Amino acid sequence: MLDPFQKHPRRLAVLGVGLIGGSFAMALRAAARDVHIVGYDRDEVNLLAARHMGVIDSAVHDAASAVREADMVMIAVPVGQFETVLASIVPALSPSAIITDVGSTKGSVVKCAKALLGSAFERFVPAHPIAGAEHNGVRAARVDLFKGCSVVITPTDVGHELPRDIIRKCWEACGAKVEEMSVARHDAIFGVVSHLPHLLSFALVYDIATRTDAETYFHFAASGFRDFTRIAASNPDMWRDISLANRDVLLQELARYREHLDRLSQLISQQDGPQLEDFFRVAREARRDWTDNNTLD
């Protein structure tokens, strides 16, 4: 395992050199110039681009080769590919390597890591950087993507403290603020503040796109629509995987959200102006407070 006094890995394997994996490699290299970064990506064009851009030092064509001799393994593939990639690297892992990931859902990832990693599970540090964009691939990667953003680490029951500290320091070296919470808490929170709005945004655009006169509707869509539906341009594979991985939370939250819509329908149907206004005011005030406390807006 990494020397506790050594803050950064000497040999880092990045599996999935996309927006997140690529940005992590760039930021870590900026912080630790002597790191050697081996990259693997199932998309050969993307992998070559990563090598060409200098995001990685060497490119390999299978995940197992990438992790051999690596003291840190960053799994940055979509949640739905996590199991396949992890299974393929287990036999090649160095006995002291620290393994970490960046998945947007943690329950499914931890369950899978526990099943596949054996004793290396003690050196697995589940993490989730709260960053992203509609664009993906290494060409969208940026050295400062994580600057000022939050990274949530969700320690496992058996996870050792040292790997966790090292992963924390790596993210801090990338400019991120690291916070810890349980796996279940993570999935509950992100199910509501991230996964649910993605489903709702996809559903609105789907609703319009499947009308016979969709073109006219889209023609009159303005800035409110633009903002509301920006996340509906997100990657369908990735959101399929997230929806399935955080299934229980999403089913519960969709049901809860539908109750709010039922309430709105009822208030509109009964022409209850004061209650409608109250509903909107609670939301408006919370949204304004959020803006005031947040540098994102």
**Candidate list 123, 163, 202, 212; residue touching a copy of itself; CB under 8 A:** 202
**Residue 142 interacting with a copy of itself (CB under 8 A):** no
Identify which range of 5-13, 92-100, 107-115, 281-289 contacts a copy of itself by CB under 8 A. 281-289
Q: Which pairs from 229-235 meet CB under 8 Å and 24+ separation?
A: 229/201, 229/204, 229/205, 230/134, 230/201, 231/134, 231/197, 231/198, 231/201, 231/202, 232/198, 232/201, 232/202, 232/204, 232/205, 233/134, 234/134, 234/198, 234/202, 235/78, 235/136
Angstrom distance (rounded) from CA 26 to CA 245: 28
**Residue 290 interacting with a copy of itself (CB under 8 A):** yes
Beta-strand pair 177-180/150-153: parallel
- Interactions with a copy of itself, residue window 20-59 (CB under 8 A): none
**Candidate list 72, 131, 138, 151; residue touching a copy of itself; CB under 8 A:** 131
What x/- string results for residues 151 through 170 when contact with a copy of itself is judged by CB under 8 A? -x------------------
Smallest distance from a copy of itself to CB 166, Å? 23
Identify which range of 29-37, 105-113, 148-156, 165-173 contacts a copy of itself by CB under 8 A. 148-156
Tallying the residues shown for the chain, one arrives at 297
**Among candidate residues 41, 48, 34, 52, the one with its CA nearest the CA of residue 13:** 41
- Interactions with a copy of itself, residue window 61-120 (CB under 8 A): 80
Question: With respect to a copy of itself, which residue has the nearer C-beta, 158 or 286?
Answer: 286
Smallest distance from a copy of itself to CB 67, Å? 27
